[in-house]
């Protein structure tokens, strides 16, 4: 019933949509492999991209606050709207299901983990993680190269 964090959204998305999101990423990786000079721009776009949680966290409170306001002016039956919206938010947090998720995924909204797939593929294309495969180095050097090259905001 409690879904793994990594699986929460993909497990509640149709296989077709999951594959489409991945295919589109693969196409972009092929494109940026041929246009490495555009990688930096793309990485900045990825930092700005709205992930599906952020969208849900904007849409959920909007519906909930709307329902509460309507219940004050238009009768208490409107409280069913925030009740439903927050019941669904709780379901989404624990199990992953959310009524708007199929729509948001069809519109192409990704999880932060999916965005990270593209971010790290681009960094590898750029050569950020190149020296890690070097077995001649000491373990501590490899560890610190891996850590530094993988930071959210590399220095």
Partner 1 sequence: MSAVAMSSTRVVEQTDPRVNQRIERQTEINVNYYANHPELIDDRIRQLDAEWDVERVLEMNSASLTLLGLVLSTRNRSWLLFSLAIQGFFMQHALQGWCPPLPVLRRMGFRTEAEIQSERYALKALRGDFAQGADPRRLSQAVHH
Rule CB under 8 A: which residues touch partner 1? 4-8, 22, 25-26, 29-30, 32-33, 46-51, 53-54, 56-58, 60-62, 64-65, 68, 71-72, 79, 82-83, 86-87, 89-90, 92-94, 111-113, 115-121, 124-125, 127, 129, 132-133, 139-140, 142-144, 146-147, 149-153
> Least distance to partner 1 from the beta carbon of 148, Å?
9
Q: How far apart are the first and last CA of the chain?
A: 40
Minimum separation from the CB atom of position 132 to partner 1 (A) = 5
Q: How far is the CB of 106 from partner 1 (least distance, A)?
A: 20
CA distance linking residue 81 with residue 76, whole number of Å: 10
b or e along 106-129 (b: 16 or more beta carbons within 10 Å of the residue's beta carbon)? eeebbbeebbebbbebbbeeeebb
**Which CB sits closer to partner 1, 106 or 120?**
120
Distance CA 51, CA 39 (A): 20
């Amino acid at each position: 019933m409690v879904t793994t964090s990594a699986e929460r959204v993909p497990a509640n998305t149709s296989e077709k949509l999951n594959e489409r999101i991945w295919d589109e990423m693969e196409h972009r990786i092929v494109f940026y492999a041929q246009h490495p000079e555009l990688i930096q721009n793309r990485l900045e776009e990825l930092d700005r991209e709205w992930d599906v949680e952020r969208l849900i966290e904007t849409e959920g409170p909007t519906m909930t606050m709307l329902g509460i306001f309507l219940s004050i002016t238009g009768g208490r039956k409107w409280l069913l709207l925030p009740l439903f919206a927050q019941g669904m938010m709780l379901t989404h947090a624990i199990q992953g299901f959310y009524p708007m998720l199929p729509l948001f995924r069809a519109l192409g909204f990704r999880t932060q983990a999916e965005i990270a797939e593209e971010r790290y593929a681009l960094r590898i294309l750029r050569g950020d993680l190149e020296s890690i495969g070097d077995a001649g180095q000491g373990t501590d050097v490899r560890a610190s190269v891996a850590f530094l090259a993988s930071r959210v905001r590399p220095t």
